[in-house]
Amino acid sequence: VKRVTKGVTRFTMAVRRTISATDVAKHAQVSRTTVSYVLNERSDVSIPTATREHVLKIARDLGYQPNRAARALVTGRTHMVALYAERVHTPVAASILYHFQKEAAKHGFDVTVGTNLSRFVPQVVDGILAIDSPTSIQKYIEENGPLNLPFVSIGPYFVDSVDYVGVDFATGTQQALEHLVSVGCRRITFFYDGIIPDFENAVDPRCRTYAAFMKEHNLPAEYVRVPYGSPRHEARTTIREYVRNSSQLPDALFCRYDELAIGAYCGLRAEGIRVPEDIAMVGCDGIEEMEFLETPLSTIVQPFEHLCVEGWKFLKQRMEEPGLPQQTLLLPPHLEVRASSLR
Amino acid sequence: VKRVTKGVTRFTMAVRRTISATDVAKHAQVSRTTVSYVLNERSDVSIPTATREHVLKIARDLGYQPNRAARALVTGRTHMVALYAERVHTPVAASILYHFQKEAAKHGFDVTVGTNLSRFVPQVVDGILAIDSPTSIQKYIEENGPLNLPFVSIGPYFVDSVDYVGVDFATGTQQALEHLVSVGCRRITFFYDGIIPDFENAVDPRCRTYAAFMKEHNLPAEYVRVPYGSPRHEARTTIREYVRNSSQLPDALFCRYDELAIGAYCGLRAEGIRVPEDIAMVGCDGIEEMEFLETPLSTIVQPFEHLCVEGWKFLKQRMEEPGLPQQTLLLPPHLEVRASSLR
DNA sequence: ATGAAAGCGCTAACAT
DNA sequence: ATGTTAGCGCTTTCAT
């Protein structure tokens, strides 16, 4: 069967014409198939070393670059994975992006970033790594049905119906609170943002564990809520108002995450409150910034790199074998005790 | 011409079979062409409103999602752009990623991130936005030839042979130094990392302007160099050693970028040096963190969002019309004077 | 206004 | 071991 080209130059649109596998085949005097086999390093077909070397050389000389769109079209794999987060703008997301990108690159995958799940449909990415956003994902699924895409959730706050690499912030929180109690704190206030209707049954282990711990130790649970917005700014404003309106400060502030802690610290200092003398502080996440404040802040450190290494492994396995049973892993965080909670 | 399928199920590989435009066409009782015209909202072909609505409805009902790989194959455009930076791991990169991603998404583009230029060949991305890395890019071009790809450079430190949206850190530095002089500083030390063989002719406007300014005002130029590594950590170590070995401290520290300033501030405080009483400080970049130190640090603020909005515009234009003459724009930074340089 | 069909570059089944 | 060819889903030209 011969295809007949009727018209003259039909395609004005495909501007860039790059070197294709056909070109390599022509120059190397072999068929496109052979080129494909060589370039894909297929072990099931045996190509004589001479032919292989020759094809490889020609490809190199011609500067051949496989067309990823064409490959994606036929294989159904784009070699692109997504990093999803509600807010990509945070130090935590930046750190995870860095490590995840590094892992993915090792296996020839590129990483795209976004805050909109519906962009990441099949044929755009082969899989998704989601940070710390179970509620928005559950909401998405309710509205759009399941994302038929390899999906791994990571962080202290994960979706537990899919593959996840969690951080055991329940234990982390327990340790942090025990530490605070051990240095003499009794009134430990939970400093948080978001909407938590019921702390004892909250999805977030930090909330749950705090509530349980305080109850168990017969200590007063106190909550200070930061309104939604820029966490540092809102935290600073909130704590300043709180300080002004309080007759007596609590012994310690346990912050849901580091950025809140940083805003709070700044606000406290601006009000002349000393940390840890007047109030001790512990945050969660372990972003670098916490170590570089005048009083370095204690925090529950997430193992970012480990998280990404394992997250990538899970995602890769899931992409290769979608039918796999659910894979889960819970990594221990590390309580980094610094000056802010030593007294 | 009829294509004859000889074998049985030939393709075991293409696993996910999604709804294609052909399916929509079948259900809507029209041709694939019509579907394509409707879905692409082509103004040059007039489709009756009834037909259009009908096709649209079917597409929606079927949950049709165009296959991006197929589209990319035929159009040569992937609708993917890259954000390139030597270090994606910084607050500056995170901020730019955030704003750039937002702009690109408005036009249906996704953003991929990487530190390896050679991954971003045609057919992977339609264009590249590069942050602040002229030397590594020039080196790449020398080794690999020109990247035949729409390319825009942004930041205070840009490639000036291609489209760029720069930040005028020459003026910014000038203002910062004038400010420091105006509050009484004479010995102003330049705190930097990297390798600058010749400050007066350096590519980086911060270095150049500092050297020129000090010469012009007959002030002593002094340089303290931070070794390569984690900027905050290295800066902290370096300044502590510097302080211990100095008989008399300079009046001010002008830092090449904010992370160095943060490390330096931390180190100074740890040595019991007061800011700004003993030494004034100014940084460059304008990352949020600078505002949340106990003594908020003055800094030359880059207009991140504006940078990305204009950078995206340039990139988009370049992608649409590669032959365009070079486009350049220089945005003014803003000197944010905070407590660290007021005395 | 709508349809038929070519072809984008690649992979893989099948034939030699 | 290598070649031939169908087909991935789409856009676009040309014909009706």
Residue pLDDT, tens place only, A156-184 = 888 888 999 999 999 999 999 999 999 99
Nearest residue, CA→C1' of C13 = B10
**Chain-chain contact of B88 with A65 (C-beta, under 8 angstroms):** no
pLDDT single digits (tens) A246-293? 999 999 999 999 999 999 999 999 999 999 999 999 999 999 999 999
Spell out which residues of chain A touch residue B75, defining contact as CB-CB under 8 Å.
Answer: 13-14
**CA A23 to CA A52: how far, in whole Å?**
16
Confirm whether any atom of chain C, the nucleic acid strand, is less than 7 Å from CB of B15: no
Spell out which residues of chain A touch residue B101, defining contact as CB-CB under 8 Å.
Answer: 88, 113-115
Contact (Cβ atoms closer than 8 angstroms) between residue A203 and residue A135: yes
pLDDT, position A82 = 95
B225 close to A (CB below 8 A): no
pLDDT, position B12 = 33
Lookup: tokens for A308: 């990404």
Count how many Cα atoms sit within 13 Å of the Cα of residue B92 in the half-sphere of its side chain. Answer: 24
In terms of average pLDDT, the best of A12-21, B2-11, B268-277 is B268-277
Instruction: Please report, in angstroms and rounded to a whole number, the separation of the first and last CA atoms in chain B.
Output: 86
pLDDT, position A14 = 34
Positions 152-171 in B, CB within 7 angstroms of strand D? none
A36 close to B (CB below 8 A): no
Q: What is the overall mean pLDDT for chain B?
A: 89
Distance of CA B220 to the CA centre of its chain: 34
Q: pLDDT band for position B17 (50/70/90)?
A: low
**CA B171 to CA B330: how far, in whole Å?**
11
The total of other beta-carbon atoms located within 10 Å of residue B260's CB is 26
Question: How many Å lie between the alpha carbon of B328 and the closest alpha carbon of chain A?
Answer: 25
Q: Judged by CB atoms within 8 Å, which residues 171-200 of A form the interface with B?
A: none
Give me the DSSP letters along B196-240.
Answer: -S-GGG-SSHHHHHHHHHHHHTT---EEEEEPSS-HHHHHHHHHH
pLDDT single digits (tens) A55-76? 888 888 888 888 888 888 888 8
Count how many Cα atoms sit within 13 Å of the Cα of residue A102 in the half-sphere of its side chain. Answer: 17
Question: How many Å lie between the alpha carbon of A86 and the closest alpha carbon of chain B?
Answer: 11
Q: What percent of chain B has pLDDT over 90?
A: 64
pLDDT single digits (tens) B57-102? 888 888 888 888 888 888 889 999 999 998 888 999 999 999 999 9
Peptide bond into B276 cis (omega under 30): yes
Which nucleotides in chain D lie closer than 7 A to a protein CB?
Answer: 1-15
Q: Which nucleotide is nearest to B67 if distance is taken from CA to C1'?
A: D9
Q: Which nucleotide is nearest to A4 if distance is taken from CA to C1'?
A: C6
Q: pLDDT band for position A302 (50/70/90)?
A: very high
Q: pLDDT band for position A106 (50/70/90)?
A: very high
Q: Which nucleotide is nearest to B75 if distance is taken from CA to C1'?
A: D11
pLDDT greater than 50 at residue A11: no
pLDDT single digits (tens) A12-28? 333 345 788 888 888 88
Spell out which residues of chain A touch residue B76, defining contact as CB-CB under 8 Å.
Answer: 13-16
Spell out which residues of chain A touch residue B291, defining contact as CB-CB under 8 Å.
Answer: 232, 266
pLDDT single digits (tens) A111-141? 999 888 877 776 789 999 999 888 888 888 8
Confirm whether any atom of chain D, the nucleic acid strand, is less than 7 Å from CB of A31: yes
pLDDT, position A217 = 97
Confirm whether any atom of chain C, the nucleic acid strand, is less than 7 Å from CB of B109: no
Mean pLDDT of A306-334: 96
Mean pLDDT of A22-42: 81
pLDDT single digits (tens) B143-157? 877 778 899 999 988
Give me the DSSP letters along A108-152.
Answer: T-EEEEES-GGG--TTT-SEEEEES-HHHHHHHHHHH----S-EE
Contact (Cβ atoms closer than 8 angstroms) between residue B258 and residue B287: yes
Which 3 state secondary structure label does DSSP give A68? Answer: helix
Q: Which nucleotide is nearest to A52 if distance is taken from CA to C1'?
A: D1
Distance of CA A339 to the CA centre of its chain: 29
Mean pLDDT of A211-234: 97
**CA B85 to CA B130: how far, in whole Å?**
6
Q: What percent of chain B has pLDDT over 70?
A: 95
**Chain-chain contact of A266 with B293 (C-beta, under 8 angstroms):** yes
**Interatomic separation, CA of residue A47 and C1' of nucleotide D2, rounded (Å):** 9
Confirm whether any atom of chain C, the nucleic acid strand, is less than 7 Å from CB of B3: no
Residue B279 makes CB contacts below 8 A (sequence gap 6+) with B249, B250, B251, B252, B253, B268, B273
Which 3 state secondary structure label does DSSP give B328? Answer: strand
pLDDT greater than 60 at residue A1: no
Nearest residue, CA→C1' of C1 = B47
Alpha-carbon radius of gyration of chain A: 27
Which nucleotides in chain C lie closer than 7 A to a protein CB?
Answer: 1-15
Say which of A14, A88, A294 has its CB closest to residue B76.
Answer: A14
The DSSP letter of residue A83 is: E
Confirm whether any atom of chain C, the nucleic acid strand, is less than 7 Å from CB of B6: yes
**Chain-chain contact of A123 with B293 (C-beta, under 8 angstroms):** no
Spell out which residues of chain A touch residue B124, defining contact as CB-CB under 8 Å.
Answer: 68, 110
The DSSP letter of residue B138 is: H
**Site of tokens 């709180």:** A242
Residue A66 makes CB contacts below 8 A (sequence gap 6+) with A21, A39
Spell out which residues of chain B touch residue A14, defining contact as CB-CB under 8 Å.
Answer: 74-76
Closest C-alpha among A272, A271, A261, A189 to residue A231? A261
Confirm whether any atom of chain D, the nucleic acid strand, is less than 7 Å from CB of A4: no
Q: Which nucleotide is nearest to A18 if distance is taken from CA to C1'?
A: C9
pTM across the whole model: 0.91
pLDDT single digits (tens) A146-158? 778 899 999 988 8
Q: pLDDT band for position B275 (50/70/90)?
A: very high
Mean pLDDT of A86-102: 94
pLDDT, position B296 = 98
State whether the Cα torsion B198-B204-B207-B210 is positive or negative. Answer: positive
pLDDT, position B8 = 27
pLDDT, position A17 = 58
Q: pLDDT band for position B269 (50/70/90)?
A: very high
pLDDT, position B122 = 66
A106 close to B (CB below 8 A): no
Alpha-carbon radius of gyration of chain B: 27
pLDDT, position A122 = 66
Peptide bond into B322 cis (omega under 30): no
A131, amino acid identity:
I
Q: pLDDT band for position A48 (50/70/90)?
A: confident
Question: How many Å lie between the alpha carbon of A178 and the closest alpha carbon of chain B?
Answer: 28
pLDDT single digits (tens) B284-293? 999 999 999 9
